[in-house]
Amino acid sequence: MDFSLNWRHSRIVPFGSSVSLFAGAALVLSACGGGDSQAPTQPDDPQPTTGAVSVQASTTGDTLDTDGYTVTVDGSDASLGIDGSTVYTGLSEGEYSAKLSGIQKNCAPSDDNQQSVSVTAGDTAAVSFDVSCEPALFDRIVFVSNRDGNYNVYAMETDGSNPTPLTIHSADDFGPVVSPDGTRIAFSSNRDGDDDVYVMSLDGSDPRQLTDDPEFDCCPAWSPDGSELLFVSERGDGYDDVFRMNADGSGIQQVTATDSTDDITPTWQDSSTIVFASRRDGGFGDIYRMNRDGTGLERLTSSADQDWASPTVSESQIAFNGWDGSDFEIYTMNLDGSDLQAVTQDTAGDLGAAWAPDGSWIAFNSDRPGNYDIFRMNPDGSGLVNLTNAPDARDVSASWAPGR
């Protein structure tokens, strides 16, 4: 039988024909790898060109920051829970740094908060931050009260609720100030027979005496980084002068030296500048500013008939109390002494101004109810609130714990 083959039906050939024998042989040769033709090969899998970094945080201790942290890798920020993790992908091979920030003031990583990490294509490198936190006091007001007999240190919420004694002692404690990281309280006390400066834990435990001089020592003020304290002492010439010491009581240095008048109530404007009150230029007190070593003295007020003292500093203003001839009022002014304003005007005595950490309020004590209570007001004097309202007590010496 004669069949003609065409390309469309080349596989349809008569069984048993010579053409079928040829095709079958060719098929066998092809299946066995014979001939010159090559079987098709699969392309190789593509090699990875990028890697990843996994960052994990683990936090222990007290007064934890539930808002968590920020981690930065290759200039990119990501939120990280206090016991969480996150992964950065698509990173080229090379060296990177992982930085942890947004760490609460009372917390610190066990190692540096910035770590180096090597990224290899196809792999995930791991970085971990172990953070520990100390007990801390944030967003509270500390003050002194004799509501339980003698004067003790108390803490309360910023709305006046939940007043809690922090010291219970037969002596009198005054002038409490919370450290910038919220973990310690410095104060003055006569518990050793004369007035000295102490520091204690937040619950009043572990009191440590920082000064030990027979002369009067009082009025501590923390430096912005918590490494130093200012205080006032009569040591030497019997007049009040400003001194500076390390936070553990070592390295005491005299900052002012006046042998005929008093320098009192020092506070920090910043880490290199001190603001205080003095009568060095006349019979009435004025507010002054100087460098941390006592140089660069600058007089900010010039009172002819008023006695101004107890300055407290915000980012842009100084508040203080002043005697206007009949009673004490609270005043504010700019950091350079300009724009002096009386923000209280009452026949009672208003004393001991203290700025909130964010500058939104001023706390002070006043005897306008007939006894001294702690009040809070806006910086312009509006929004006045009696926080303690303790008719049978004297509540004074208010200061703010830091914000978180």
> pLDDT tens digit string along 264-294?
999 999 999 999 999 888 767 899 999 999 9
- Please enumerate in sequence order all residues whose Cβ is within 8 A of that of 106, keeping only pairs 6 or more positions apart, or say none: 63, 133, 134, 135, 136, 181, 182, 183
* 129 and 145 belong to one structural domain: no
pLDDT band at 176 (very low <50, low <70, confident <90, very high): very high
Residue 22 lies in a domain: no
Q: Is the pLDDT of residue 32 over 80?
A: no
The token pair at 377 is 């007001």
Q: Is the pLDDT of residue 107 over 50?
A: yes
**How much is the pLDDT for 105?**
94
Instruction: Find the range with the poorest average confidence among 150-164, 225-239, 272-286.
Output: 272-286
Residue 21 lies in a domain: no
Residue 1 lies in a domain: no
Find the radius of gyration of the CA atoms of the chain.
37
* 264 and 370 belong to one structural domain: yes
Which CATH number covers residue 297? 2.120.10.30
Sign of CA dihedral 93, 96, 98, 99: negative
Q: What is the mean pLDDT of the chain?
A: 89
Residue 194 lies in a domain: yes
> pLDDT tens digit string along 360-392?
999 999 999 999 999 999 999 999 999 999 998
Share of the chain above pLDDT 70, in %: 88
pLDDT band at 236 (very low <50, low <70, confident <90, very high): confident
Q: Which domain does 253 fall in, by range?
A: 140-400
* C-alpha to C-alpha distance for 184 and 203, rounded to whole angstroms: 9
Residue 113 lies in a domain: yes
Which of 209-215's residues contact partners 24+ apart within 8 Å by CB, and which partners? 209/249, 210/186, 210/245, 210/248, 210/249, 211/245, 211/249, 211/252
pTM: 0.83
* 382 and 310 belong to one structural domain: yes
- Please enumerate in sequence order all residues whose Cβ is within 8 A of that of 288, keeping only pairs 6 or more positions apart, or say none: 263, 275, 276, 277, 278, 280, 297, 298, 299, 300
Which whole number is the average pLDDT over 336-359?
A: 95
Domain end (from 115, 133, 151):
133
Torsion, CA 70, CA 76, CA 78, CA 83, rounded to 10: -60
Which whole number is the average pLDDT over 194-209?
A: 95
> pLDDT tens digit string along 9-26?
333 233 343 333 333 434
* 60 and 152 belong to one structural domain: no
Cα angle 267, 243, 108 (rounded to 5 degrees) comes to 60
* 337 and 319 belong to one structural domain: yes
Residue 128 lies in a domain: yes
Nearest to 274 by CA among 312, 246, 309: 312
> pLDDT tens digit string along 33-75?
444 545 555 556 788 999 999 999 999 999 998 899 999 999 9
- Please enumerate in sequence order all residues whose Cβ is within 8 A of that of 358, keeping only pairs 6 or more positions apart, or say none: 403
Residue 73 lies in a domain: yes
pLDDT band at 237 (very low <50, low <70, confident <90, very high): confident
* 275 and 367 belong to one structural domain: yes
Q: What is the largest CA-CA distance in the chain?
A: 140
**How much is the pLDDT for 306?**
75
The token pair at 62 is 């007290």
* 148 and 122 belong to one structural domain: no
The total of structural domains in the chain comes to 2
Which CATH number covers residue 91? 2.60.40.10
Residue showing tokens 């002070």: 364
- Please enumerate in sequence order all residues whose Cβ is within 8 A of that of 76, keeping only pairs 6 or more positions apart, or say none: 88
Q: Is the pLDDT of residue 213 over 50?
A: yes
Domain end (from 133, 167, 199):
133
State how far Cα 21 lies from the chain centre: 92
Domain end (from 133, 148, 177):
133
Which whole number is the average pLDDT over 208-227?
A: 96
> pLDDT tens digit string along 328-342?
999 999 999 999 999
Q: Between residues 28 and 306, which one has the greater pLDDT? A: 306
> pLDDT tens digit string along 165-174?
999 989 999 9
* C-alpha to C-alpha distance for 331 and 354, rounded to whole angstroms: 11
- Helix, strand, coil fractions of the chain, as percent rounded to 5: 5, 45, 50
* 115 and 175 belong to one structural domain: no
Instruction: Find the range with the poorest average confidence among 66-75, 153-162, 297-306, 308-317.
Output: 297-306
* 272 and 392 belong to one structural domain: yes
**How much is the pLDDT for 175?**
97
* 197 and 144 belong to one structural domain: yes
Nearest to 318 by CA among 309, 327, 328: 309
The strand pairing partners of 396, in sequence order, are 144
* 145 and 118 belong to one structural domain: no
- Please enumerate in sequence order all residues whose Cβ is within 8 A of that of 252, keeping only pairs 6 or more positions apart, or say none: 211, 243, 244, 245
Q: Is the pLDDT of residue 396 over 80?
A: yes
Residue 90 lies in a domain: yes
* 239 and 159 belong to one structural domain: yes
The strand pairing partners of 222, in sequence order, are 229
